Each structure stands twice: as structure tokens, then as C-alpha cells.
A and B are shown apart, each in its own frame.
Chain A
Amino acid sequence: MSNRRTSLAVMLLLAAVILAVPGCKKHDAPDAAASPAGETNKIRVGYIGLTCEAPIFSAVEKGFFKEEGLDVELVRCQWATYKDALALGRFDVTHHLVMYFLKPIEQGLDVKFTGGIHRGCLRVQAGTKGDILTIKDLKGKIVGVPGLGTPPFMFATRVMAANGIDPSRDVKWRVYPAGELGLAVKRGLVDAVANSEPVGSLLLAEGTVRTIADQAKDAPYKDEYCCAVLVNGQFYAKNPKATAAATRALLKAAKWVDTNPAAAARLSVEKKYIASNVNLNAHAISNLDYVPSISGAEKAVLQSAQDMKAAGMLMPQTDLEQLAAKAFVHLPGVTDEWLKSLEVEKLADGDVPPGEDIRQYAQLINAPGAKNCCIGRK
């Protein structure tokens, strides 16, 4: 009797432990017994449900994965556990922010970059009530961020270091949840904020802030890839061909999104990948710069690593070349030449009509059901 009770307790405990492991909604268990010699053609692609993940949705819906001979399965995840879900093999491939993953890779997180998807969505913005007009004016001020170690914080740190401000001494950092950064500016709790889309556009449209550094517009950051294809290191080691095929599918999808932003926006919303409305989504997508590149992504990895080391984010003993080599892999058949030769269809109603105002965009964002792009709540 007590034996049975003990074993029941042990089983419950085990179940609790298993449930506590950061999990995602998985539709299908991975085929663990897949033969080690032959490569799998099954691939699990992670997503959170963000605007900028349009290439993932397009690649599935337009059949780019199928063209590459892959059997794709989408795995929906949460922000808080996204990094760990990829590294621990809850899914195999996705695309995400380069800076967000670099420090964890230095720490030993087993993931690889394989190609760049799009550029720029981070900003540093100062309150309109204050007298901060450039980055240099930030000296001695208080800067709000969604978290130390988040990409907006990293971006702000890099920009400051490049402008002769010591980010560890000359400014004070304050952490607020991404959604409450605007409130912190309005209440005068901080003088400036570092944030990402769509919070940045929203605050701009409200007239709360002015942008003093923009990853999408300011050199040298405007040429830097903020999002790149990421693959689980073990999956890559076992299935280099499948990894290359998945990367090709995602890069092709990025090009397709660049050509047909409105169509991509429609598809993401109508197939219920993201909770948003079509117009809002189309504007958000057209604000991002979807120009897939291999060399660009590789450069972005090294550039970010250099700046992060200069800002004291990476360890002083870390060898940057080695880190970049560990973090980025070149795959067979995935080259800039191939990307150049790649042609995608152009749909008649695929583009966004020009000349729409950012205030309209902000109104759309304020509409109920809107979902953040890029960094939300950490």
C-alpha cells in the first residue's frame, strides 16, 4: 500500500519536473529514433507570433519548405523561454535577433546563425519635454530599458560607446516592462528610453519622444542585420543538408516578403499566425528591411560582438574571431550569389500603398488585438 503510494508520489514528482521544463505547444513528438546515418526531412520551426516573423509564415504557406523537400511543423513558443526552447531542442530552426543570442552563445548556448533576414528595429528615444537632442546629451541622464541585457539595452550601450559616453558610468539605467516605458517617460521617471518596434513608433506618434538613434536609419547600424536564421547546434551537426534547405526556404521567404509586404501581412493575419489586423501588419512589415544576405549576417555577428565587447557585455578574455566562427556557419548552397539569382513572384496587390502617415500606423497599433513586433516583454 505505502509502496504504491510512494511510487505514485515519485511519478507525480517526475511529471512535475517534466512539466516545469520550459515547454512549447508541440503538435507532434520528434522522431527520436530517426536513423543517425540518414538525415531527417522533418523540421520544426519555432515562432512566437510577431509581425517580423512574416518570412516563417510565408515560407510555410507558399510552400517554400516543401520545395526544399522538408516536412515542416510549426511550434508556437513564449518569449520568456524562446532562447532555451531552441537550445534545448523543442524546435530546430527559426529566425531571431542577433544581439539577443550572442551573449548566450558566448556562455555556451548551442545555436548557430546561418543567414540574415532583415535589418533594424531598435531605437533610442528621448522625451520631448527634455532637452536631449543627440546621443551625446545623454550624459548624466536616466535611460529606461525593458531589461539589462535585452537588445534595446545592448543597442543603446553600443551607440553610447561609439559617441564617447561611458554607458556604465555616465548614464543611469532603469528597468521597466516594455509596455510601461512610455509611462515612465511621461511621469518623468526616465529622461530617455531604448526600445524596439512597435513601442518606438507608438511613442513617436503620441508625441512623447523624439528619436535620437535609429538602427534602421543611422550608420553604421542601418546596414547591420538585426534578425538572422538560427538553428539548434545538435540538429545542424546531425542534419547539415536539412539545415541548409530550411535556411534557403526562410531566406527565399524573406525576399518574397520584401517583394510582397502586403500579401505577407494578409497571410500572417488571415491564417491566424498573429493577432493583429492586416493594415497594421502591412505597415509594420514595410518598415522593416527584408533583404536576405549571408555575408551581411556574418558581418553583423562580428560587428555586434566587437561593439558588445567594447561596451563590456562580452567577457574580456573572449576571442571575437573565435566567437563569430562558433556562432556562424556557412551552409552548402546558401550563398549571396544564390540569393542574387533567386527570383520570387510579385503579386499584383502585394505591395503597400506609399505615403501613409505614422500616426495612422500608431492608431492601428492602438487597436485592440495588436501584438508587439520584436522585443516585447523580454
Chain B
Amino acid sequence: MPAHGIATLVADATQPADVESPAAASPAQNSQADRAAVAAPAATPPGKVARFGAVAFAPTVAAAIALAVHRWVPNGQKIDQPTRLYPRLLLILLVAGVVVGLTQQLWRRIKPTPWNFPLAFVSNALHWCVASAPVLAAGILLLCAWDLVTLKLALVPLPYFPGPDAVFQTLVNDWASSGQGQPGLAECMTSSLFLLLSGYFVGSFLGVVCGVMIGWFPAARYWGVPVMKLVGPVPATALIPMALMLFRNPTLSAVWLIALAVWFPVTMLTLSGVMNVRASYLDVARTLGAGRAYLIFRVALPAALPNIFVGLFMGLGSSFLTLVVAEGVGVQAGLGWYIDWARAYSDYAKVYAALIIMAAYFSTIMTLLFRVRDHVLVWQKGVIKW
């Protein structure tokens, strides 16, 4: 009973300074709805048939423009092989755009259940495509601009700026093997993902543990803070010899380097979160008879969670930054390893191909982390700007 009571208490009282009253929150909601209405004609309440909109054909028009540019503007950059992939991709986009545009009223947001899962998935995805037609069109036009600036008009020099076709071609060519018998992008992707995730989990777990210890126990703070100040700003490159000495296995060395890069921001923010728990919460909890474990795990840690998530986001950024360095300690495949190699050869199509994959990884993991935060910190909804 007291457990529940204090949790609600924390939830109620952890209102930061920028609290919005319900009255203030409602205009924000309205404006959000307005925005949705402007961006997406199809964003109608479920059940109602959406109005047929010409906006849904924007990607088709954009793809047609891009295709025309690619077909009829003469090449400025010299390339060895005719382009194949990029025009095909545009053609597929064009046809798909027409089909989706004509059937736009069919696609609605459906709540996925175990029974209708494939259908719901397709319907939701296509609904999203219709709703985000302007963004998709802008994306396709961006591809067209890239094609124009590089391959067509050669405004920027080779080898630094290959056209979209070269990059897409690399993604396909290097999928299974990246040449000279070395593993291809597929293996690099799984290998990097494994490194990133294991390093990230180890680092953030240790970071939270260390942060709570240092934040809670004065003795741990006395000894821990100087260590943090020493270790925190050391760049990963300088730690390579230590990584090699500590672990014989190259993967472990790499995981350790990434974990260290994640550990520092997570520890720092966890400890500041734990140290900034309002004394009143702790007093109230103690008065109600809470023990030390209870104070740490049920009061301090939940109160520090918003801070911890900031640390986790920062750690995610630094884990990606460290990836290239960590993959220079003898691993056999990986996106950073691949980029390093491609850069030595000035093969920038490969560099961009790997960067596209890394960007996709980053945004996916970031989205997942936001979902987790929204789930864990659901009590913040309505309390702060959501």
C-alpha cells in the first residue's frame, strides 16, 4: 500500500518548473491537430472515408521529374558503367505512387491484432505514405537534386561526391562481399549491430549502477567522482592499447571501447538525477517507514529517470561516434571497418552506402528508445510538453 502511495506521490510531485496547466495544454493539442490536418488530407477520424486528394500524387510527380532529369540531362561526371539501379528505383516509385494515389481511400489506420497483422501492417504503411506524401515527394526531389549536382552537372568533384546510382549500386554489389575476399555489407551490418547493442547495454547498465552508487553513497562519491573526471574525457583512440591488453578477443575489446563511451554520459546524468531528488520525497518516504533499498529503487531511481534517459540518448550518440575507432582493433567486419577501408581507397560511394545504413540504424534505435521512454515515463504526459 505505501509502495503505491509513494509512487503516485513522486509522480505528482516531480513536476518540473515548466508545468502546463490543463488549460494551457489544450491549445497545444489543437494546434497539433491543425498541423496534422494541413500535412495530411487523409488524417480523418477512423471509419470515415477520406477525401480523395491530389496531394497523394506528389511523389509520383516528383519521381517523374527525377526520372526525366536522369534520362535527358547529359552526364557531366565520367562513369564507367551505365546507370541501372537508380532509374529503375524511380520507375518503381512512379508506378507505386500512381497505384497508391488511386487507391488512397482504401488505406486506413487499423489497430493490429494477431489475426489481421499483415493486412493491418500494409494498410498502416500505405496510410502513412498517403499522409506523408509531401515529405516523400521532397525526399525524391532531394535525390533528383543529388543526381543533378553530382552525375549530371558535375558541380562537385569526383571521387568525393558520386551520384545516387553509384551509391545504390554499391549497396547491391557489396551486399555479400566487399571485394578481395572480405565480408560484405550484410555481415558488416550484423557485426556492427551486435557491437553497438552489446556495448550500449553493458555501458548503460554499468552507467546506471555507477551513477546510483555515486549519487547515493557519499563514500562512493568521494572516490568515484575523481575517477570519472579522469576517465570521462579520454578519447577512445587513446584507449586502444588498453583494450588490446585487457582482452584477447577483438570483439570484446571493441565492446569494451563502446561500453566505456556510453558509460560516461549515462553515469554522469544518473548521478546528477539521483543527487537532485527532492529532499521532501525522501523525507516523506522515510516518514512512511521506507528502508534504504526502497528509497533508492522506488524513490530516487524513478525520480532520476528523466535524467537517465537524457544520458541514454547522449550515450547512443557517442556509441555511434566510437564505432569507427572500436572497429579498428582487429575486428573482421563492421560498418566502421568498412568506411575506413573505403576511405583509404577514396571509394566514397562505399562510404556513403555505409553511412546510409548507419543513419537508418541510428534513427531506428533512437525511435525505439523514445518509445521506451514514452512507456516508462508515461506519468510525464500532461505534466511537461509532450
Interface residues of A (CB under 8 A from B): 83-84, 87-88, 103-104, 107-110, 144, 147-150, 157, 166-169, 172-177, 180, 183-184, 187-190, 311-313, 315, 317, 378
B250 interface residue per 8 A CB criterion:
yes
| B341 & A88 in contact (Cβ 8 Å cutoff) | no
What residues of chain A lie closer than 8 Å to B78, measured between beta carbons? 108
Determine whether the beta carbon of B250 is less than 8 Å from that of A174: yes
Shortest C-beta distance, B89 to chain A (Å), equals 23
User: Nearest 8 CB-CB pairs, A to B?
Assistant: A168-B181, A149-B344, A104-B346, A108-B158, A107-B159, A148-B341, A174-B330, A108-B159
The docked-state distance in angstroms from the alpha carbon of A189 to that of B241 is 13
User: In the complex, how many residue pairs between chain A and chain B have their CB atoms under 8 Å apart?
Assistant: 104
At the interface, yes or no: B105 with Cβ under 8 Å from chain A? no
User: B244 and A184: CB pair below 8 A?
Assistant: yes
Interface positions, chain B 289-346, Cβ under 8 Å from A, are 327-332, 337, 340-346
Q: Which residues of A contact B358 (CB under 8 A)?
A: none
- Residues of chain B within 8 A (CB-CB) of A174 are 250, 330-332
Among B181, B240, B250, find the residue whose CB has the most chain A CB atoms closer than 10 A. B181
A312 and B330 contacting across the interface, CB-CB below 8 Å: no
Residues of chain B with a CB closer than 8 A to A167's CB: 180-181
Task: State how many angstroms separate the Cβ of B153 from the closest Cβ of chain A.
Answer: 16
Nearest CB to that of A151 among chain B residues? B344
* Overall SS of chain B's interface: loop
Complex CA distance for A290 and B340, rounded to whole angstroms: 31
CB of B350 to closest CB in A, whole Å:
10
A107 engages B179 (CB within 8 Å)? no
Cα A172 to Cα B331 with chains together (Å) = 11
- In the complex, the answer to whether B340 meets A103 with C-beta atoms within 8 Å is no
Does residue B4 face the partner (Cβ distance < 8 Å to A)? no
Contacts of A312 in B (CB 8 A): 179-181
Q: Is the CB of A311 within 8 A of B345?
A: no
Please give the residue numbers on chain B whose beta carbons come within 8 Å of chain A beta carbons, in ascending order. 77-78, 80-81, 157-160, 179-182, 237, 240-241, 244-245, 248, 250, 327-332, 337, 340-348
Cα of A157 to Cα of B344 in the assembled complex, Å: 15
In the complex, what distance in Å separates the CA atom of A286 from the CA atom of B105?
A: 80
Q: Besides A104-B159, A312-B181, 10 other CB < 8 A contacts?
A: A84-B160, A107-B348, A110-B157, A147-B344, A168-B182, A175-B330, A176-B329, A183-B241, A187-B248, A189-B330
Complex Cα spacing A373 to B14, Å: 60
Chain B residue at minimal CB-CB distance from A172: B332
Contacts of B348 in A (CB 8 A): 107
Q: Which residue of the partner chain B has the closest CB to A190?
A: B330
Instruction: Flag if B244 contacts A107 (CB, 8 Å).
Output: no
B330 cross-chain contacts in A, Cβ below 8 A: 144, 174-176, 184, 189-190
In the complex, the chain A residue whose C-beta lies closest to that of B327 is: A175
Question: What are 10 residue pairs bridging A and B, where the CB atoms are less than 8 Å apart in the complex?
Answer: A83-B346, A88-B160, A104-B345, A104-B346, A107-B158, A108-B159, A148-B180, A167-B181, A184-B330, A189-B248
**In the complex, what residues of B have CB within 8 A of residue A317's CB?**
80-81
Q: Are B328 and A175 in contact (CB under 8 A)?
A: yes
Q: Is the CB of B341 within 8 A of A109?
A: no
Chain A residues with Cβ below 8 Å from B179 are 312
Say whether, besides A84-B160, A147-B344, A173 and B245 are in contact (CB < 8 Å).
no
Most buried by A among B157, B244, B345, B348: B345
In the complex, which residues of chain B have a beta carbon less than 8 angstroms from the beta carbon of A176? 240, 244, 328-330
Contact B245 A183 (CB under 8 A): yes
| B180: contacting residue among A172, A180, A188, A311, CB under 8 A | A311
Q: Distance (Å) between the CB of A377 and the closest chain B CB? A: 9
Q: How far is the CA of A180 from the CA of B341 in the complex (A)?
A: 18
Q: Please, which residue of chain B has its CB at the minimum distance from the CB of A148?
A: B341
Knowing A187-B248, A378-B340 are in contact, say whether A107-B241 is a contact too (CB < 8 A).
no
Bound: A300/B80 CA distance, A? 25
- Tell me whether A107 and B345 are in contact (CB under 8 A): yes
- Which residues does chain B contribute within 8 Å of A83, judged by CB atoms? 346
Residues of A within 8 A of B329 (CB): 175-176, 180
State how many angstroms separate the Cβ of B26 from the closest Cβ of chain A: 27
Please report the C-alpha to C-alpha distance between residue A182 and residue B157 in the assembled complex, in whole angstroms: 39
Chain B residue numbers with a CB within 8 Å of A311 are: 180
Of chain B, the residue at the smallest CB distance from A84 is B160
Beta-carbon contact of A189 and B244 below 8 Å: yes
A contact residues around B240 at 8 Å (CB): 176-177, 180
Of B78, B182, B344, most A-chain CB atoms within 10 Å:
B344
- Knowing A110-B157, A176-B330, the reply to whether A148 touches B244 (Cβ < 8 A) is no
Which residues from A are CB-within-8-Å of B327? Answer: 175
Report which residue of A107, A168, A190, A378 has the largest number of chain B beta carbons within 10 angstroms of its beta carbon.
A107
A88 and B157 form a contact (CB under 8 A): yes
Closest to A234 in B: B157
In whole angstroms, what is the CA distance A311 to B179 when docked? 10
A108 to B81, CA, bound (A): 14
User: Which A-chain residue is minimally distant from B330 (CB atoms)?
Assistant: A174
Q: Which residue of A lies closest to B249 (CB)?
A: A189
In contact, B182 and A166 (Cβ under 8 angstroms): no
Query: How far, in Å, is B318 (CB) from chain A's closest CB?
Result: 19
Question: How many angstroms between the C-alpha atoms of A312 and B240 in the bound complex?
Answer: 30
